[in-house]
């Protein structure tokens, strides 16, 4: 039984024979190796095209911005998983990546969906972006939801990473139209909630990637790729200075058992 559409048994990413490896129509050894950096190669693999100068600049920028943020949940679980089985480095990395979800690290995807919806609604009504976003945010709040990309437990009143990304986007003329929508949302969302809600780095990442015509369905790829590098750094440190079991010990001490009726 076949599930889904039969799109044909083909791939456009790579092929290999005894003498060569071909990636996206380019010879790996004679063309790509020694000529392109990893950011260019990632863009080529994902999109089939080598990046423009602006795309390269911002892909590098975003990967640096999102890779490391201390002992966040993804790094904690990776360290604890590694200590449970030091022979399975790949399992520890995978455990960390599995934490890339709708609350932590993976929110760039939902931020992109919000911005795309805001732009579509603005284009359809030919209205003012601020009015469109205000209506969209009001609907989200009525339904008891939260606007993705706003609020941060540490960075207040501004997420410095988001600010730097948007400043550079506007400086390098990559800031249209999604960065402009993100800037509008940064004013509208706190007004709707009646309290300060800083735009966080996930909204800035989504806005810039969309303006650079990065595939909308792969916005989460940037945090995943970036955090993989950070996970490997944390696991390298865990080998020399293990703290995973210590974190688990403090977690047990921090939680009080309370019996409840079922």
SS (H, E, C) the chain: CCCCCCCCCCCCCEEECCCCEEECCEEHHHHHCCCCCHHHHHHHHHHCCCCCHHHHHHHHHHHHHHHCCCCCHHHHHHHHHHHHCCCCHHHHHHHHHCCCECCCECHHHHHHHHHHHHHHHHHHHCCCHHHHHHHHHHHHHHCCCCCCCECCCCCCCCCHHHHHHHHHHHHCCCCCCHHHHHHHHHHHHHHHHCCCCCECHHHHHHHHHHHCCCCHHHCCHHHHHHHHHHHHHHHHHHHHCCCHHHHHHHHHHHCCCCCCCC
Is residue 174 scored above 70 in pLDDT? no
Average pLDDT of 11-38? Answer: 97
Average pLDDT value for the chain? 93
The token duo for 141 is 């709040």
pTM of the predicted model, to two decimals? Answer: 0.91
| Least confident piece of the model among 101-105, 120-124, 218-222 | 101-105
What's the pLDDT at 87? 97
Q: Strands across the sheet with 26-27, in order?
A: 14-16, 21-23, 26-27
What's the pLDDT at 208? 96
Is residue 212 scored above 80 in pLDDT? yes
**pLDDT band at residue 155 using 50, 70 and 90 as cut-offs:** confident
Q: Which of 128, 145, 127, 126 is nearest to 137 (CA)?
A: 145
What's the pLDDT at 83? 96
Report how far residue 228's alpha carbon sits from residue 151's, in angstroms, rounded to the nearest whole number.
24
């Amino acid at each position: 039984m076949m599930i889904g559409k039969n799109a044909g048994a083909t791939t456009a990413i790579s092929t290999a024979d005894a003498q060569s490896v071909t990636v996206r129509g380019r010879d790996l050894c004679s063309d790509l190796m020694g000529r392109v950096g990893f950011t260019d190669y990632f863009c080529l693999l994902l999109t089939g095209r080598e990046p423009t100068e602006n795309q390269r600049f911002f892909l590098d920028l975003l990967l640096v911005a999102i890779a490391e943020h201390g002992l966040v949940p993804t790094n904690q679980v990776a360290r604890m998983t590694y200590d449970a089985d030091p022979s399975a480095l790949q399992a520890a990395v995978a455990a960390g990546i599995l934490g890339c979800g709708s609350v932590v690290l993976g929110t760039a995807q939902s931020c992109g969906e919000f911005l795309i919806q805001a732009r579509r609604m603005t284009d359809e009504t030919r209205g003012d972006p601020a009015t469109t976003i205000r209506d969209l945010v009001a609907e989200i709040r009525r339904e008891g939801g939260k606007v993705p990309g706003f609020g941060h437990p540490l960075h207040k009143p501004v997420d410095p990473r988001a600010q730097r990304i948007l400043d550079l986007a506007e400086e390098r003329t990559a800031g249209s139209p999604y960065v402009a929508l993100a800037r509008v949302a940064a004013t509208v969302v706190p007004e709707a909630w009646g309290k300060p809600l800083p735009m966080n780095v996930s909204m800035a990442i989504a806005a810039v990637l969309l303006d650079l015509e990065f595939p909308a369905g792969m916005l989460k790829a940037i945090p995943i790729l970036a955090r993989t590098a950070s996970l490997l750094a944390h696991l390298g440190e865990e080998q020399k200075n293990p703290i995973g079991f210590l974190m688990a010990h403090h977690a047990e001490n921090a939680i009080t058992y309370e019996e409840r009726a079922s």
